[in-house]
With several copies, the nearest count.
Chain A
Amino acid sequence: METMNLLQAIHEGLAEEMRSDESVMVLGEDVGRAGGVFRVTQGLQEEFGAARVMDTPLAESLIVGSAIGLSVNGMRPVAEIQFADFIPPAFDQIVNEAAKFHYRSNGDWNCPITIRAPYGVVPGGALYHSQSIEAWFCNTPGLKVVAPTFPADAKAMIKSSIRDPNPVLFLEHKRTYRLIKEEVPDEDHEVPLGEARVHREGADITVVAYGLMLYTALEVAEKLSEEHGIQTEVVEPRTLYPLDKETILDSAKKTGKVLVVSEANLTGSFSGEIAAIVAHEAFEWLDGPVMRLGAPDVPAAAFARPMMDYFMPSAKEIEAAMLELARY
């Protein structure tokens, strides 16, 4: 077992899949020679050559569209979108094409592609290198959207994504790339898509979170346990779409109190879906409102640090919400 951060774990998962399956390849802007702007693909071009680790033109529709076409002809491409904020030009190829390939052909064709996209606020990233874009893609049957947060999960899930016969959007929170290290199993440790993870058990309240907010939630949960004896169950969806409703509902029924936290602009974010499911299907068990916390409804994080910090849902806000809920 090696100790790795998120970035290294994804790198390892990619490299292992490329070693064991010749049809796996990587394409995107700066993924080759430079090894990616975040260095996730560093070293891959040396090992696998320029054809299997291909620097593409700056054209996101082409990146995803050609990935679809590669998959049609026997390849298993992993397309990188340099920043999730730049995925819109590929929106059509993802939601209208990749996601519908199997269904529209009545099962004749598959579209086994993986699209990696770093998302989330990072200092200095500002309006166009910060966005949380999951809501754009979580109303699209046929597509899978995953967002693992911990290194071991990420390595296993990038492999599951590549092996999945369906298109998978693989979201990576930029600010968590190097945030923590953990032991990552060497061999084929499997985490199937579609399964949430309970990080921490607790009987008082449930927090559902992913990405950077998950780390914060886990810290606050620890603090609340120590300082107030409040036991928080923390659930990470890992796969956002299709969602593992059962795990979330089980926790909601157990605690009766649910807070959903994400970094996306609150209104219209995927948190709404999670909250709505709980409000409908766990209604009888609820002892308090289904609460949500997110970024304010402004375009995205600002460049200037003070404004950026103000924009982010803070540990303090999360703590206040958890306390409010626990005391409800």
Chain B
Amino acid sequence: MAIRETSAGHEALGLDEDDLRRMHYHMLLARRVDERSWILNRQGKAAFVISCQGQEAAQVGAAYNLLPGNDFLYPYYRDSGMTLLLGQTPRDQFLSLLGKKEDPNSGGRQMPGHYSSRRLNIVTSSAPVGIQYPQAAGTALAYRIRGEDGVVLVCGGEASTSGGDWHEAMNFAGIHDLPLVFLVENNVYAISVHAEFQVAGSIAKRAEGYGFPGHEVDGNDVLAVYEVARDAFGRARAGEGPTLIEAKTYRITAHSSDDDDRRYREREEIEEWRQKDPIVRFEKYLMENDILDESERDEISERIKAEVAEASKYAEDASFADPEDVLSGVYAEA
């Protein structure tokens, strides 16, 4: 299977310069929020960090197709590029990182990266890897039953395809032509386990066995991801069924702040991938197409920096929920 790369410039994809700027802004924003999170971790303020770094193109490229309010997103823990794009703020991210009361995902109950926003149709997520897939299928099925045109985007790492839930959802999606887009962000590792011990054959190729298309795409190329995802959303909205997208990318950081990746991978490998940084690559594209210049880039960077600093400070100063809050809200009231 050939890996799909950008087949056309942005105009051919129907994207205008504002679109590109929005994409770029959110990719960079996600990166900076993440970088700041590691600093907070090293300062002993953040107990746990889990990163989006390296995957921003896959995330923003795919999620850019979501119609807010109409579609649902089932993100996984690295998808801050998506949740920021949909409207969560850096402040939200840091509040969650530090487990503060105002954390919109969980009020400080869950680890960082377990996104939730009913307002933004981001479905509450958890830690068991892969468990979201059948749920996403159900959400898509509801659209089908009611004859509505909403689409569901569900995401996971390559290891999230190893468990049964992924397969059960793929099969169900294929049977009922569900309006569901599967995005697998294949970043080569599952904690320490290399994809060669995780995935037999090819993830993207498997879609065919379920009767719907699967695509491998260069996950560090935001426009390429946007394009396959746009087609997938189009198919879904037209009632033609699901699509599987495998975005080939790389996890630039350790698995999390609890992980020491020196145990299992070479520094050179990471360096190689740093050269393929999706943000640098996109900026190159933008500059070559005269959409961005150095000074604009610096200006955006400064703006984000300030925004991130402010957000981090806000979250650091914010208060924890009362300890007794742990007892409340076990059951929903009728």
- In the complex, are there CB atoms of A and B closer than 8 Å? yes
Interface segment among B211-219, B306-314, B324-332: the answer is: B324-332
Given contacts A57-B198, A106-B329, A166-B332, contact A66 B108 (CB under 8 A): no
By the criterion CB–CB under 8 Å, are B145 and A106 in contact? no
* Interface mask (B181-196 → A, CB under 8 Å = 1, otherwise 0): 0000000001111000
Within 8 Å of chain A (Cβ to Cβ): is B68? no
> How many A-B pairs fall under 8 Å by CB?
263
How distant is the Cα of A123 from the Cα of B331 in the complex, in angstroms?
25
Given contacts A57-B162, A65-B165, A303-B106, contact A35 B263 (CB under 8 A): yes
How distant is the Cα of A127 from the Cα of B32 in the complex, in angstroms?
27
Given contacts A65-B134, A310-B323, contact A123 B47 (CB under 8 A): yes
Given contacts A69-B140, A102-B329, contact A57 B110 (CB under 8 A): no
By the criterion CB–CB under 8 Å, are B163 and A60 in contact? yes
For B145, what are the chain A residues with a Cβ–Cβ distance below 8 Å? 25, 51-52, 75
Min CB–CB distance B325 → chain A (angstroms): 6
Within 8 Å of chain A (Cβ to Cβ): is B89? no
Min CB–CB distance A69 → chain B (angstroms): 3
By the criterion CB–CB under 8 Å, are A104 and B168 in contact? no
Residue of chain A at shortest CB distance from B260: A34
Task: Pick the contact of B323: A101, A105, A306 (CB < 8 A).
Answer: A306
By the criterion CB–CB under 8 Å, are B330 and A299 in contact? yes
For B198, what are the chain A residues with a Cβ–Cβ distance below 8 Å? 57-58
By the criterion CB–CB under 8 Å, are A92 and B131 in contact? yes
Task: Pick the contact of B326: A58, A88, A164, A310 (CB < 8 A).
Answer: A310
By the criterion CB–CB under 8 Å, are B138 and A72 in contact? yes
Within 8 Å of chain B (Cβ to Cβ): is A129? yes
How distant is the Cα of A60 from the Cα of B172 in the complex, in angstroms?
12
* Interface mask (B295-334 → A, CB under 8 Å = 1, otherwise 0): 0000000000000000000000000111111110111111
Within 8 Å of chain A (Cβ to Cβ): is B116? yes
Within 8 Å of chain A (Cβ to Cβ): is B239? no
* Interface mask (B110-123 → A, CB under 8 Å = 1, otherwise 0): 11101011100001
Within 8 Å of chain B (Cβ to Cβ): is A136? no
By the criterion CB–CB under 8 Å, are A69 and B106 in contact? no
Residue of chain A at shortest CB distance from B331: A166
For B118, what are the chain A residues with a Cβ–Cβ distance below 8 Å? 105, 108-109
For B325, what are the chain A residues with a Cβ–Cβ distance below 8 Å? 307
* Interface mask (A3-19 → B, CB under 8 Å = 1, otherwise 0): 00000000000000000
Residue of chain B at shortest CB distance from A22: B146
Given contacts A65-B169, A73-B72, A165-B332, contact A58 B130 (CB under 8 A): yes
By the criterion CB–CB under 8 Å, are B332 and A73 in contact? no
Min CB–CB distance A168 → chain B (angstroms): 11
Of residues 152 through 210 on chain B, the ones whose CB sits less than 8 Å from some CB of chain A are 159-160, 162-165, 168-169, 171-172, 175, 190-193, 197-199
How distant is the Cα of A178 from the Cα of B39 in the complex, in angstroms?
27
Within 8 Å of chain B (Cβ to Cβ): is A297? yes
Within 8 Å of chain B (Cβ to Cβ): is A56? yes
How distant is the Cα of A175 from the Cα of B152 in the complex, in angstroms?
39
How distant is the Cα of A106 from the Cα of B135 in the complex, in angstroms?
19
By the criterion CB–CB under 8 Å, are B197 and A55 in contact? yes
Min CB–CB distance B266 → chain A (angstroms): 12
By the criterion CB–CB under 8 Å, are B323 and A92 in contact? no
By the criterion CB–CB under 8 Å, are A66 and B326 in contact? no
How distant is the Cα of A57 from the Cα of B163 in the complex, in angstroms?
8
For A96, what are the chain B residues with a Cβ–Cβ distance below 8 Å? 126, 128, 131
Within 8 Å of chain A (Cβ to Cβ): is B109? yes
For B191, what are the chain A residues with a Cβ–Cβ distance below 8 Å? 29-30, 34, 37
Within 8 Å of chain B (Cβ to Cβ): is A305? yes
Residue of chain A at shortest CB distance from B123: A72
Min CB–CB distance B319 → chain A (angstroms): 10
Min CB–CB distance A42 → chain B (angstroms): 9
How distant is the Cα of A301 from the Cα of B131 in the complex, in angstroms?
20
A and B contact pairs by CB, cutoff 8 A, 15 listed: A29-B190, A55-B193, A58-B198, A61-B168, A65-B138, A86-B129, A96-B128, A103-B109, A104-B106, A106-B329, A108-B116, A165-B331, A296-B327, A299-B330, A306-B321
B-contacting residues of A (Cβ < 8 Å)? 25, 29-30, 32-35, 37, 51-52, 55-62, 64-75, 77, 85-86, 88-89, 92-93, 96-97, 100-110, 112, 123-129, 141-142, 144, 163-166, 296-299, 301-311
Q: Which 4 A-B pairs have the closest CB atoms?
A: A69-B138, A65-B134, A66-B138, A128-B127
